[in-house]
Amino acid sequence: MDMQSALSTFGVTDATLSDEEIQQLDQRGYLPLPAVMSPEEVSAIRKRVQELMAEEGDEAGSEFSTERGAVRLANLVDKDPLFEICFTHPRVLAAMNHVLKGDFKLSSLNGRASVPGDGVQAFHADWSSGVDPSDFQVCNSIWLLVDFTAENGATRVVPGSHRSGQLPSDVMDNAWEKHPQEILLTGAAGTVVIFNSHLWHAGTTNHTDTPRYALHSYFTRRHNAQQMDQKAFLSERTLARLRPAHRFILDV
């Protein structure tokens, strides 16, 4: 199995993303893809996320990390076939293929629910240093399981910052503060927002009385270590159901 064969298996073609979509992803660093999930898929996935968070309790997310102000889940590839859409959807894979130049694998598939009254983060990028725009190493996707609004803690980004070759800490005195060029990634449930992980981004405060649920399927170049070592965490039951193309994207 190679990348082209895997992408073909999942229906990715040169026309999966339009020229306009690719241009936005290149220049602004993010791309909303509306209605990737149907209302029925959103409802089923959100229900399963809520069940897992309740089942795992204080241990939720412990395979990877926990976070003040949010409830996390980790290792979702192993927890339900429902989540396979997050690393097999052709529009998402086409975006990853473009940003990471045909050289990528899933790094992690996690859940995050920002809790009422919290969820705020400092601006950050998902890489330890700035990189040249010809050498992007990571790219993420946010799967909106509820509407993202200004009130419930939608992610903020600084458009174009992925091309700066800098981190927020290189230029901001306080990365918790508002950036003059920041925008909020609002959208309807079912949307997937692709964002270059070198883009400066952060969660904002959830001012509502309900959690804001999302999934993150995060991809990296194949030579980089995964955030979640799939070989170490996937059960034999899960491995048995995966086709060769799944295994290639997961690097197992």
Q: State the average pLDDT over residues 223-236.
A: 95
> 190 with 38: CB under 8 angstroms?
yes
pLDDT digits (tens, 9 = 90+) for 5-47: 999 999 999 999 999 999 999 999 999 999 999 999 999 999 9
Neighbours of 21 (CB within 10 A): 18
Orientation angle between helical segments 19-28 and 90-99, nearest 10 degrees: 50
> 116 with 210: CB under 8 angstroms?
yes
- pLDDT, residue 64, reads 83
Query: What percent of the chain has a predicted confidence (pLDDT) above 90?
Result: 94
Class of domain 3-250: mainly beta
Confidence check: pLDDT of 160 > 90: yes
- pLDDT, residue 67, reads 81
Confidence check: pLDDT of 68 > 90: no
pLDDT digits (tens, 9 = 90+) for 117-143: 999 999 999 999 999 999 999 999 999
- 3: DSSP letter: H
Mean pLDDT of the chain: 96
- pLDDT, residue 66, reads 81
Q: What residues does each domain of the chain span?
A: 3-250
- Residue 99's nearest CA partner among 33, 22, 17 is 22
Conformation bin of residue 69: beta by default, left when phi > 0, alpha when psi is -120 to 50: left
Q: How far apart, in whole angstroms, are the C-alpha atoms of residue 244 and residue 26?
A: 30
Residue 33: C-alpha distances to residues 3, 25, 90, 197 (Å): 23, 11, 11, 17
Residue 129: partners with Cβ closer than 8 Å, 6 or more residues away? 167
pTM: 0.96
Confidence check: pLDDT of 108 > 90: yes
Q: State the average pLDDT over residues 168-189.
A: 96
